[in-house]
Amino acid sequence: MKKILVIEDDKAVRRGISDNLTNEHFEVLACGDGKEGYEMARKNAVDLIILDIMLPSMNGNEVCKQLRQDGVQTPILMLTSKKEEVDKVLGLELGADDYVTKPFGTRELVARIKALLRRQAETRKELSELTFGDVYVDFKKQEATKRKKNLKLSSKEFELLQFIAGREGEVVSRADLLEEVWGYEVTPTTRTVDNFILSLRKKIETNPSKPKYLLTVHTAGYKFRR
Amino acid sequence: MKKILVIEDDKAVRRGISDNLTNEHFEVLACGDGKEGYEMARKNAVDLIILDIMLPSMNGNEVCKQLRQDGVQTPILMLTSKKEEVDKVLGLELGADDYVTKPFGTRELVARIKALLRRQAETRKELSELTFGDVYVDFKKQEATKRKKNLKLSSKEFELLQFIAGREGEVVSRADLLEEVWGYEVTPTTRTVDNFILSLRKKIETNPSKPKYLLTVHTAGYKFRR
DNA sequence: CGCGTTTGTGACAATTCCGTGACAACTCCT
DNA sequence: AGGAGTTGTCACGGAATTGTCACAAACGCG
């Protein structure tokens, strides 16, 4: 089930959106504060963010900009009031993917959300090669090098890396990894994932105990970043 | 499932193509920018690329030319408008495999795609001769030598070698080998493959227990390297 | 038919990999 | 600061995969 984060300070609106999305079988996280929303976006494995512009403590544009700077690539849908026309462009420039003008109908909102999720699915990658830092990986050949020197990875490690790097910037939960990399109908526990992440880090990171690429997102999962 | 990358800036057209291809059970990646498309083509494992000529940031011809220069052999299908007739020739010179003139029907597009994929599947085979180390193999004559001396291979051994060497560098799974060399719906088990690899090694490798050419990729399959 | 060659199977050993548990270190919350 | 929950880290044992050989079935051919 797709998970959506709603950041909107008006309680009534927030509730309304949440209810509607729940009815549409989305899982909803919500909050009414900019800073808090930013934290939640960073700390949770969400599939889409709905972001109001007017917010306490940190406005929507700021939140959006920050997230993008952090390498978060989750689709963001901005909510604007009519008066804030100017901000539309700004929002998109800052990295938002779409916007909806208040007041809006449920139907429109849901349609836009689905469009965004679909677009995201469309651009989802199955990597054939990957470069970051001093590491190069060829997934078809199952070959990897670090500083031109050969790097030995097991096929499960290749698969895991291919999957998580294909979702660069997204937080991926252990459960997702287990399902997608190991396959549904699996025995392994989530600890297994940790161990594979660990061994990958040992191989690809310059300083495995201070990872630069394979990052931990506490309570949510892992995230790949270049 | 075959994966197709669509690079086309007109949103409506892009969407249309995507939808149709999805219906035809292709997996679709899409984008509307030349440079971005080029990146995606390089980084993703796709089976075919549909490429518009008029594109922002980098035109289709450029994308095509670059990809070919990079050694990407994925079939490319160009989209041209009537006015751009001249470009057709140019496109083909630059390494495109086929072109379709706008406006085009779904049926035509799908037919061309399938034709290209089929052609690709065919041309991928049929290695006629092969040299590596001190070994020379002529598949047409079914003859082989090692250090100028005669080398006896069975016909299945020829087939297996021809197939796996035709995918030099790529990891080929036992399942693929069984299907492609032995034929789909086969009795033999995957152990059979191992045994043929073994016997091939004994014949072509200098040190069969430390193979240099026919490599094992644990849990994934085998790989031929020169 | 009988012999040699090719092809497929099974058994066993060797190897590699994967999954788990234990414990330490860390994070977050109150 | 303390405690609960989460993650990092390591090492071990078993499971799965592959190497290897020997042999049986199938085939071709005089």
- Closest Cβ opposite residue A140 in set B40, B42, B170: B170
Q: Reply yes or no on whether the pLDDT at B85 is more than 70.
A: no
CA of B216 to C1' of C16 (A): 12
Which nt is closest to the CA of B188, judged by C1'? C8
Are residues A139 and B45, on separate chains, in Cβ contact within 8 Å? yes
Using a CB-CB cut-off of 8 Å, the residues of chain B touching A125 are 29, 40, 43-44
pLDDT digits (tens, 9 = 90+) for B50-69: 999 989 999 999 999 999 99
The pLDDT of residue B87: 60
CA of A190 to C1' of D10 (A): 17
Identify residue B8 by its one-letter amino acid code.
E
Average pLDDT score over residue span B136-151: 90
| Percent with pLDDT over 90 in chain A | 68
Q: Give the C-alpha separation, A35 to A66, whole Å.
A: 11
| pLDDT band (50, 70, 90) for residue A159 | very high
pLDDT digits (tens, 9 = 90+) for B165-204: 999 999 999 999 998 898 866 677 888 999 999 999 999 9
pTM for the model stands at: 0.81
Q: Reply yes or no on whether the pLDDT at A86 is more than 60.
A: no
The residue among A85 and A80 whose pLDDT is bigger is A80
Q: What are phi and psi of A189, to 5 degrees?
A: -90, 175
Residue B22, SS3 per DSSP = helix
The pLDDT of residue A94: 77
Chain A neighbours among B 151-180 (CB < 8 Å)? Answer: 169-171
Q: CA angle B127-B128-B130, nearest 5°? A: 80
Q: Reply yes or no on whether the pLDDT at B89 is more than 80.
A: no
Instruction: Please tell me what DSSP assigns to residue B182.
Output: I
CA of A186 to C1' of D5 (A): 24
Tokens of B145: 């030598």
| Percent with pLDDT over 70 in chain A | 94
Q: What are phi and psi of B49, to 5 degrees?
A: -125, 130
Q: Reply yes or no on whether the pLDDT at B29 is more than 70.
A: yes
Q: Reply yes or no on whether the pLDDT at A89 is more than 60.
A: no
Q: Give the C-alpha separation, A144 to A130, whole Å.
A: 9
Cis peptide before B103 (omega within 30 of 0): yes
Closest CA relative to residue B202, chosen from B152, B168, B133, B160 = B152
Q: Reply yes or no on whether the pLDDT at B125 is more than 70.
A: no
Average pLDDT score over residue span B118-122: 80
Q: Reply yes or no on whether the pLDDT at A46 is more than 70.
A: yes
Contact call for residues A161 and A137 (beta carbons, < 8 A)? yes
